[in-house]
Structure 1
Amino acid sequence: MLDLSNGIDSLTNFKRMTPGYLKQLHESGGPLVLTINGKDEVVVQDAAAYQRLQELAEKAERQEAIEAIKEGLADLEAVRTKPARAAILALARKFGMKVEG
């Protein structure tokens, strides 16, 4: 988890000294929390750092999907499955829904 406690400043200061803050963002690669009236409002970061963050999130999503597929395959091998119709009927009963057909 990112520690945002060190990179906090006001939006007013950011607007007044934008070039300096942009240099800091590029050099550090870290985010900056901007406040309005003392309240955290937005987080800014340079484009390269944002791109890395996006790539990490996509990698995590792919890994999560791979793990779910592995779990499903293991369930198939261990015969921990039921026919789709039976599963749908069980869910319908659980949530008080009618199933036609």
Structure 2
Amino acid sequence: MLDLTKDIRSLTEFKRNTSELVENLKRTKHPLVLTVNGKAELVVQDAESYQALLNAAELVETLKGIKRGLDQMKEGQGRTAESFFNEMFDQLD
């Protein structure tokens, strides 16, 4: 999780202390916000934490799709699997 008191640095500071800050990223797993002229411009994160973030985002999208399908089913939309497969096999013949 981002700690606003520790995880915001200037790009200039990051350039000067890259090795130290990268080691800190790996150790804490906290992203680092880099500023340019006092404005947030970049977020730097270790690869393992970034992959975990991508996995979580993919899971959220999957769950949203499942929920959408369940909601459609409750509303009487869609069709049975048997109907779908019969149509698919008819098209393949």
Fold match (TM-score > 0.5): yes
Q: What TM-score does the superposition give when structure 1 sets the normalisation length?
A: 0.71
What CA distance in whole angstroms lies between the structure 1 residues aligned with 2:2 and 2:32? 10
Residues 2 and 31, structure 2, Cα contact 8 Å, conserved in 1: no
| Aligned sequence identity (%) | 39
Give structure 2 stretches of 5+ with no counterpart. Answer: 78-93
1:3-82 alignment, distance < 5 Å? 3-6=2-5, 7-76=7-76
Partner Cα separation in structure 1 for residue 45 and residue 9 of structure 2: 13
Structure 1 letter corresponding to 2:48: A
SS in 2 for 1:5: coil
Q: TM-score, normalised by structure 2?
A: 0.77
Gaps of 5+ in 1: 78-101
- Does the aligned pair in 2 maintain the 1:4–1:33 contact within 8 Å? no
Q: Let me know the Cα RMSD of the aligned residues.
A: 1.3
Equivalenced residues, count: 76
* Structure 1 residue 4 displacement after superposition: 5.0
Q: Which residue of structure 2 aligns with residue 89 of structure 1?
A: none
